[in-house]
Amino acid sequence: MEEDAPAGQPHGSRAPHFIKRSRPLHVSWQVGVFVVGLAVVVAGVIMLPLPGPGWLVIFGGMAIWATEFVWAQLVLRWTKRKVTEAAQKALDPKVRRRNILLTAIGVVIIAVALGAYVWQFGFAVPWNVPE
C-alpha cells in the first residue's frame, strides 16, 4: 500500500536511525510509543461522556501511534480523508440551507413545547409540579 503514502513519507516507523538499527531498542521504542498512544486514546475515550475534547484527544493518540505503526497511519489517513469530505459536503449551499432549516424547525418545536409547559404549569420545575 505504498502508493497511498504522500511523497517523502513512506509507511512505517519514524524512529531515529540509531534506534531502528538495534532490534531490542526498536521493540522497546515501539512498546513505549504504543503505551503512550494508548494512554492518550483512553483519556480521549474517558472525555467523550465527560467535559473535554474527547475526539480531538483520541485523534492525538492515533497520531502518536501513527509515528510508529502502519495500521495507525492508514487509519489516520482514512479518517483525515473522510473528515475532509464531510467538511466539504457540509459547506455545500444546499446542505447548509437544509441544516439551517432543520435547526430552525427544531428550535420552533422546542419553543412551542416549552411555551405549552409554562402555560400549563407555570415556571415550576417538573419535580415540583402539583399532581
Q: Which three cell numbers stand for residue 101?
A: 432549516
Q: Which three cell numbers stand for residue 45?
A: 475515550
- Summarised one tens digit per residue, pLDDT across range 43-69 is 999 988 888 888 889 989 988 988 888
pTM exceeds cut of 0.75:
no
Rounded average pLDDT over 103-108: 97
Return all residues near 52 (Cβ < 8 A) that are at least 6 apart: none
Q: Are 55 and 83 in contact (CB under 8 A)?
A: no
Q: What is the DSSP string of 48-98?
A: TTSSS-HHHHHHHHHHHHHTT-HHHHHHHHHHHHHHHHHHHHHTSHHHHHH
